Amino acid sequence: MQEIKEAFGFGNAICANGAMHYDLMNECVIEEWLIPLESQFEFVKRMRTAVPSISFATEYGDEFHHESAYIPRWDVGVDIFPVLRIEEKLLKPAFKMLARCSDYEYTSDELLEIALREVGDLVTITHSNAAESLLEISALGVSKGKTLAKLTSRMGFTSKDVVAFGDNPNDFSMLSWADRSWAMTDGHPDAPKYSKFVAEAHHLDGVAIVIEELLTLPI
């Protein structure tokens, strides 16, 4: 978020797939919608039974903890003391949990299908990379779309005033809610089903092209 702060210089942010309302300038959390402890334990229990090769990580406060079997890609160095079983670190409500098959036994889409069947009544499950064999877990009912709608309403605006871009299942709720939403052509193949429009691929400056077009509209 430091890079975002330096690039924009104003505003707040919705982080962790909607679980966190973050003060960008003061670098502090305004609100969190957390996964209860009992839900964390039950989630891990059910998913271990459904997918024996799965491993877990959890995030709360400024802490990140993961199992030895969980091989991080972007979190290397954050947690230098992994645990054998994540239950050792399920100590408080968490804004996010992660579950992955580090042997890539399943794709993220395949894992998501299993998780929705096994624990969809317990937590919100999504992913942000179809090739990573990685799930992202939030409290039940928490999503980017719902938090964006909540904060937008507080400011006196509606979905008609919002522009959104997204590329993966963790963006689908937001793309569905916003009246002006664009799926990236190089994103998940299902993304255009949830968006109103489609933008060019990110490496072709798809977001910038749309924003430039929007800025030409009359105020």
Query: pLDDT tens for residues 47-61?
Result: 999 999 999 999 999
Q: Residue 49 CB: number of other CB atoms within 10 A? A: 10
Query: Which long-range contacts (C-beta less than 8 Å, at least 24 apart) are formed by 210-213?
Result: 210/163, 210/165, 210/182, 211/163
Q: What does the mean pLDDT of the chain come to?
A: 94
What's the pLDDT at 210? 97
pLDDT digits (tens, 9 = 90+) for 123-165: 999 999 998 899 999 999 999 999 999 999 999 999 999 999 9
Question: Which of 59, 70, 168, 51 is closest to 111 using CA atoms?
Answer: 51
Mean pLDDT of 178-207: 97
> Which tens digit of pLDDT belongs to each residue from 52-94?
999 999 999 989 999 999 988 765 555 568 999 999 999 999 9
pLDDT value of residue 8: 85
The domains located in the chain, with CATH, are 1-32 (no CATH), 37-139 (3.30.1240.10), 156-219 (3.40.50.1000)
